[in-house]
A and B are shown apart, each in its own frame.
Chain A
Amino acid sequence: MPAVVQLEDIHKTYDSGEVQVHAVRGVSLTLNSGDFMAIMGASGSGKSTLMNTLGCLDRPTRGRYLLDGVDVSGLDRNELADLRNEKLGFVFQGFNLLSRTTALENVELPMLYGRQRASGRDLQTRAEHCLQIVGLADRADHFPSQLSGGQQQRVAIARALVNNPQVLLADEPTGNLDSKTAVEVMGVFQKLNDQGITIVMVTHELDIARFCKRNLIMRDGRVVSDITVADRLFADAELQRLRDAEAAAKLTD
């Protein structure tokens, strides 16, 4: 399998006034196409810095980062941004949707900028297709405030998909959601992963990480554990279990 992401001995140091913060201390990591990894760790463990490095939002102080074979360290700001928009999709904890625009327009947003501007119709078809993937085709003309939290996050996922990225980076994507909605969103990720998209997400919830294929645990800027999930959870089965439990609770009332 080809490596989509290759990190070699990545270091990141921040200068915050007089104190130097060594956020990431030598992380090497290979992500193959089709990987589905959860990065876990306490706050300050360096997982956010690692995520920013993966997202080309932050340059490593030392080390080499190959994204789909391209050495990122040699690129200038604009090249970096182009590469980012072409290869990566981002999902955030707080959804980050524009409240005055419909779901469809929110999904179209990343296509409005950058080098390859799509034509109006092509833009809409692609956005509609992405909404369909996340199961919200019938909500295209809804405003974010008319959607539930889970639906809003699914719109955000559709937005991340619209440029056909190879890697989806999600920062605590279920952090603002209740447990059942979180499982639904993980179901969307699992479906996307089955279709071949590589996914990396940060989470601090152990049971959410169990929906991934691989769990990476960080501490003090280093990787302390990198394991394949043995007892992986599947969203469809989990949702069925939740429904059954709900039904049982109703019967005993």
Chain B
Amino acid sequence: MSKRTLNILLPAITGALFVAIWYAVRFSMSEEMRFLLPTPGEIIASFQANGTELGRAALNTAEGALLGFLFATLVSSAFALALSVSSLVRISFYPYLMMLQMIPVIIFAPILVLWVGPGLKSVVVITFLICFFPLVVNTTQGLVSTDRNLVELFRMYRASRPQEIFLLRAPAALPYFFTGLRIAATLAPIGALVGDYTAGSSAGDGGGLGFQAIIYSSQAKYPALFATAAVTCVLGFVFVALVLSLSWLSLHHWHDSYERTDN
């Protein structure tokens, strides 16, 4: 069997098995407990019933996730450049960067709501905070991991410091940057969801998926809750797919992580 067929067939079999187990568990439950695990059919039906609501919520969350993600990418890149300049700067900032990552964002959420107001603004800030750390750490690591020989080569040719940074260090840091971006891409929708869950509001443009999750759980609409999870999942896939294609576009013709067949 060709590799390509296997690539499709094997996940399909795992998926079918998973759904079979799902149904088995569901029908082994006593009648009155079955509401805890809706069937895929029920979830699809709730998609149809709550489609517009979920679509709007998904767009709101996507907006918050995207803005926070872009903001984090920009700020972290600038920050990483500053950190890469000297190890003294890195030593001064690293403990606080770590702290930023260690403190659960949820604790800040209530105060963030007071600072910037509920809704999109808070969601963007929370997404930013969650995405920032992996981005800044990876990009900085990339900027300081340039091949020593090449740095010496540039210095030998008397390249200026900006030339060294923008012609050598920054491009060489791209694979690291994209590693950070890939992690941040999986975190961004989750960050936006958490942000929305803790600081979302139905005011103005309406809430996002996190806000919707609160509503559905309070209404005991469990199939809709599963549908919300599925939508979040799709959102995550979209983000990761976007970053992967960006990464492919900028790396595939020179970086070893992409196999080439042409010669």
Point out residues on A near B: beta carbons under 8 Å.
Answer: 57, 78, 81-82, 84-85, 90, 92, 94, 96, 98-101, 109-110, 112-114, 143-146
Contact of B158 among A81, A90, A92, A96 (CB under 8 A): A81
Kindly name the residue among A85, A90, A100, A146 whose own CB sees the greatest number of chain B CB atoms within 10 A. Answer: A100
Residue in chain B with minimal CB distance to A111: B157
Counting CB contacts under 8 A, is B255 at the interface? Answer: yes
> Is the beta-carbon distance between A146 and B263 smaller than 8 angstroms?
yes
Instruction: Give the contacts of B147-198 with A (CB-CB under 8 A).
Output: 147, 149-150, 153, 156-160, 163, 167-168, 171-172, 174
Shortest A160–chain B CB gap in Å is 11
Q: Main SS of the interface on chain B? A: loop
Complex CA gap A109/B154 in Å reads 9
Beyond the given pairs A90-B156, A100-B174, A114-B158, 6 more chain A to chain B contacts, judged by CB atoms under 8 angstroms and listed by A's residue number, are A92-B149, A96-B150, A99-B256, A100-B172, A113-B159, A113-B160
Counting CB contacts under 8 A, is B221 at the interface? Answer: no
Complex CA gap A96/B156 in Å reads 12
Point out residues on B near A: beta carbons under 8 Å.
Answer: 147, 149-150, 153, 156-160, 163, 167-168, 171-172, 174, 253-256, 260, 262-263
Contact of B149 among A94, A144, A145 (CB under 8 A): A94
Known: A100-B171, A100-B172, A146-B262. A109 touches B157 (CB 8 A): yes
Residues of A within 8 A of B256 (CB): 99, 145
> Is the beta-carbon distance between A57 and B156 smaller than 8 angstroms?
yes
Residues of B within 8 A of A114 (CB): 157-158
Complex CA gap A253/B174 in Å reads 49
Complex CA gap A53/B160 in Å reads 23
Contact of A112 among B150, B163, B254, B255 (CB under 8 A): B163
Complex CA gap A84/B254 in Å reads 30
Known: A85-B158, A109-B157. A145 touches B168 (CB 8 A): no
Known: A113-B157, A114-B157. A145 touches B254 (CB 8 A): yes
Residue in chain B with minimal CB distance to A156: B153
Residues of B within 8 A of A82 (CB): 158
Complex CA gap A94/B263 in Å reads 21
Complex CA gap A143/B160 in Å reads 24
Sorted nearest first, the 8 A-B pairs with minimum C-beta distance are A100-B254, A143-B254, A113-B157, A81-B158, A113-B159, A100-B171, A96-B149, A113-B158
Residues of B within 8 A of A78 (CB): 158
Complex CA gap A201/B160 in Å reads 29
Known: A112-B163, A146-B263. A99 touches B157 (CB 8 A): no
Residues of B within 8 A of A146 (CB): 260, 262-263
Kindly name the residue among B150, B156, B168, B253 whose own CB sees the greatest number of chain A CB atoms within 10 A. Answer: B156
Residues of B within 8 A of A99 (CB): 172, 254-256
> Is the beta-carbon distance between A96 and B153 smaller than 8 angstroms?
yes
Residues of A within 8 A of B150 (CB): 96, 98
Residues of A within 8 A of B172 (CB): 99-100
Residue in chain B with minimal CB distance to A81: B158
Residues of B within 8 A of A94 (CB): 149
Shortest A73–chain B CB gap in Å is 19
Residue in chain A with minimal CB distance to B150: A96
Shortest A127–chain B CB gap in Å is 14
Shortest B16–chain A CB gap in Å is 40
Contact of B253 among A81, A96, A98, A143 (CB under 8 A): A143
Known: A98-B150, A99-B255, A145-B254. A84 touches B163 (CB 8 A): no
Shortest A82–chain B CB gap in Å is 8
